[in-house]
Every structure is written in C-alpha cells, then in structure tokens.
Amino acid sequence: MSSLRESAGKPLSELARLTGATLDGDGSVVVERVATLEHAGSRDIAFLANPRYRARLAATRAAAVIVDPAAAAATSLPKLVSANPYAVYARVAALLHPEPARAAGIDPTARVDASARIAATSSIGAYAVVGAHAQVGERAVVGALCVVGEDVAIGDDAVLDAHVTIYARCIVGARTLVHGGAVIGADGFGLADDAGRWRKIPQLGRVVIGDDVEIGANTTIDRGAIDDTVIEEGVKLDNQIQIAHNCVIGAHTAIAGCVGIAGSTRIGAHCRIGGAAMIGGHLEIADGTVISAATQVYDSIREPGIYTGAFPALPHRDWKRVASQFRRLRELAERVERLEAAQRAGNDNKPTRGEGNG
C-alpha cells in the first residue's frame, strides 16, 4: 500500500456527497486510501463490483466498502451504496489519490521556439521540444523529451507524458491525457503502385483529438491523407493501438490494447472494442457496438449488438482436427447443395395424385 500516493483522507459522508453514492453507516469514518477487499486495512476503503468476490466481503479488514444494493446487507461495515460501485470506486480513487501538481514553467534544457505561445501556468519538461507557432494551453503539461511540432495546439489541462511525439498541425483537446511513447500525426500508410514501384502519397491532413480523451502508451494515430483523422471527445484508447489515416472514432468509445484499425473506417459513439480486434478499412461501425477481443471485422456493422469472431482455444491435436474439417466446409456445402437439387428434381418428377388411373 505504500506505493499509493498519500492522501490526507476524507470522511465517508463527504465521499458520498462528492460521488453521489448513498451513505449507509457511520459517515464520520475517515478513509485515506483505496484497496482491494483482500488487502485492505483500517484506513482503507475497498469495493465489490464483481459478484465472484462476494465471499471476501465478510473477511475484509477495510474501514468501509463500496457495494451495490444487492450486497449491502452482506456486511455491517460503513458503506457507500450505488448501482454502479465500480464507477463510484473510480471517483473515490481520484479524490483520495489526486495527481501531484506539476510546477509551472519551462525547464532550462527544453527547446521552445520563440514564436510558440506557452501559457504561463503550463509546464514544459526537461529536453522537450516545442516547434514554431505551437500553442500550449493553461496548466497543460508537456513531459520530458516530448516533441510538439509546428502549429500544434495543446488544450488547457492536457498532459503529455514523457516521450510523446505530436507531429505538425495536430490538435490535442482540453484535459486529454497522452501516455508515454504515443505518436500522434505520423504519416498514414499511403502508397500508390507506379509501374511496379511504390510511390508515397503525401499525407496532408491532421489528427484532431477532442476533449477528455486518454491515449495509451505507444499508441499510434496516423494523420489523414487529405481530410483529418478525428478522435472525438471522451474516447479512451489503451496501449499499443494502431489507428490509420482518416479514421473517425466516435465520442466515448473505448478500445482495448493491440487493436488495429485500417484507414478511413468510421467507428460510432459509445462502442467497446476488445483487445487485439482487427478492423478493416473503409467500414462503418454503428453507435453502441461491442466487438469482442480478437474478432476480425471485414464488413460494416450497421446494427448495434455484440459481435464475436474469435475461436476458443483448444488442445493442439483437437485444433488440427477442427482445422482439417473447416477446410472441407466448402466441399461439404457444395455436396449438400447438389443433394438438395437432386431431391427437388426427384420430387418434381413424381406423379401427382390421380395420374395413371385412366
């Protein structure tokens, strides 16, 4: 627990007021940290969001807990009750463990172009580079070794962790968090076959990122070929995602790690995409669609729902047998079609009732 940022603590009644949860029990109990049910101590608040861990509720040594109404009667501890305990936990964790404030100013080792507009309340870290005519908003943070290209705009309260690269003319919205190693605005994979040689197509668009977006470590978002690549407000991107040129990711969509999205695909708002899913280019995904992990999407999805294309793991010997049978599916389907056609022809040639009776 010592690895958590220290907190002065808050009474449970105040946490209930700030999170919108219902207080059940002694509101004067002060909690300082969040913890799991298993490892919580007398200064901690724990939470139960997954019913599989309900047995741990009775044994926890936490000072208080966050539960849903169905689990409230299972413990006598002071508690915050909510239909969405995981969301309340997220709010409590942010209140008890806020990000440390970063000192405003420009590190003496940073290279900032004289034409850049840097808010006095912003922070520019060691060895960062800020290009010509770039803008860095109020209280924004540009971490160590970041590169902010020419004409880039970084919104108020945005944070670029160390080693982030933002290419020229891209826009990062207010309160957006970009984790280390992310690359925003590199050229899209635009190539034309010219007499057997690949000719590079200039990538003239930008990446435009809305407010309250989070972009994971080593995620890459390519600039548009002509129009912009757009990440709308509230989008949450995990680590090591590839988003190709001219994609549009709708507001409040969440995408897990190692997803690949090919160019010019439009993903709707409030979608959820599981890890390692692969989505082809020039597709449209409807608002509210859920795509399971490792699913491959080759066609547009017009109706929201849950879409799954991954095959469960099998012992290798069983998988070889299934794969062998899978290769024969087309042959089997053709055989069935021939048999059905023959049966239909036979039925057509049978005499009807009354034929041959004179």
Asked if 69 and 81 touch (Cβ cutoff 8 Å), the reply is yes
Is the torsion defined by CA of 336, 339, 340, 341 positive or negative? positive
Cβ-based neighbours of 175, under 8 Å, separated by 6 or more: 155, 156, 157, 158, 211, 212
Q: Catalytic: 245?
A: yes
- Out of 39, 133, 179, 245, which one is annotated catalytic? 245
Q: What are phi and psi of 87, to 5 degrees?
A: -65, -40
Q: What are phi and psi of 36, to 5 degrees?
A: -75, 160
Rg, Å, the chain Cα set: 28
What is the bridge-based pairing of β-strands 197-200 and 177-178? Answer: unpaired
Pairwise CA distance, residues 149 & 168, whole Å: 4
Active-site amino acid positions: 245
